[in-house]
Amino acid sequence: MFRKKLFLIIIVIGFVIPTFGQINESEVKKILINLHNISIDSVKRDSLQRKLFQEDESELLSILKGIISSNDLPRGFGYDRRVTLEAIKFIGKMNTKRGWDILIEFVTQWATEPYSEDYWMGIKPRGAFLLGQTCRVLAKSPPGILSKINVLAQRNQDNKVGKWFRITIGLAGQDTYFTETMKLLESDPDPYIREYAAFALGKIGLRESIGLLEKALKDTFYVEETFERHSGDVIALGMKHYFVREAAIDALLDLGVTIGRKREDIWIVE
C-alpha cells in the first residue's frame, strides 16, 4: 500500500513540477525574432540570450541547424529571414566546435547552389545575404576553426566554396589571400562576391588596396528596389542599391580614408 501511494505521489509531482531545459523550435524562433528587434533594451536582450544558453546545448544546436538549413522559407521580407540571420549569429555566440562546423557546412552547401530568387527585404537574394553574414560570423571563430577554414579555402581553389572561405579569412583580418581577394573585387562576375571581398579588404587593412577600392566606388552593379513591405505600403520604388560601392565605402573608412560624400548617399548614387 505504501509503495502504491509513493508511486502515485511521484506521478503527481512529475505532472506538477515543470520541466526545465527543454525548448521547441517554435519557442526558439520567437526568441530569435525578439533578438532581431533593434528597439529592445540590453537588459531584455541579455535575458533572452540567457534563456537560450540555459537550454541543452546539443538540442538547441539541432534546432538552430534546422532553421538555417531550411530551403522552404516563404518569399518576401518577413519572419523567417530575420530568424535565420539571428540563428546564425547565435550559433557563433555559443562558440562550440559543433556550432562552427554547422556554419562551415552551411557555407559549403549553399555556395555551390545558385542564389535563390527569394529576396531578403526585396533587395538581395537570400542565399547571397546569408552566405556573407555567415562568413562574418565565422571570421570571429577561434584559431583552430580558422585553420580548418583555411584548409577548405585551399582545397576549393576554383569554385565558390573556396572564394567564400578565402573571404572569411580576410574578414578575420588575415592577409593570407590578400592578392586573391583583390582579384575577386576587381573582376569576379558575382557582384556579391565582389561586395564581401571589399569588406574583407577593409578588415585586412593593407593600404595597397585603396586604389582598387576607390575604383570599386564606380562598380556598375545595382538592384532597383520595387517591393512592398509586408504591411502593404509601397516604399522607395526606384531606389538603386549599389552593394559593392557601399562595401567599398566601409572598407575605405576602415583604412582611414576620408570619404567626401555622406555614407548614406552611396546607397542612392543615381
pLDDT digits (tens, 9 = 90+) for 199-241: 999 999 999 999 999 999 999 998 876 655 444 444 555 678 8
pTM, two decimal places: 0.82
Cα three-residue angle 238-134-29, rounded to 5 degrees: 85
What pLDDT was estimated at residue 38? 75
Please, what is the average pLDDT of the chain? Answer: 82
For residue 121, how many other CB atoms are within 10 A of its CB? 16
How sure is the predictor about 19, in pLDDT bands with cuts at 50, 70 and 90? very low
**Exposure string over 168-202, b if 16+ CB within 10 A, otherwise e:** bbbbbebbbbbebbbebbeebeebbbbbbbbbbbb
pLDDT score of 118 more than 90: no
What pLDDT was estimated at residue 3? 53
Least confident of 54-58, 95-99, 142-146, 179-183: 54-58
pLDDT score of 122 more than 50: yes
Q: Per-domain residue ranges for the chain?
A: 28-35+42-174
Bridge partners, 120 (sequence order): 124
What pLDDT was estimated at residue 260? 64
Highest mean pLDDT among 66-70, 82-86, 196-200, 264-268: 196-200
Distance CA 186, CA 56 (A): 46
Least confident of 130-134, 207-211, 212-216, 263-267: 263-267
pLDDT score of 30 more than 50: yes
What pLDDT was estimated at residue 24? 86
Distance CA 9, CA 52 (A): 32
* CB neighbour list of residue 36: distance below 8 Å, 6 or more residues apart: 82, 83, 85, 86
Highest mean pLDDT among 53-62, 171-180, 221-230: 171-180
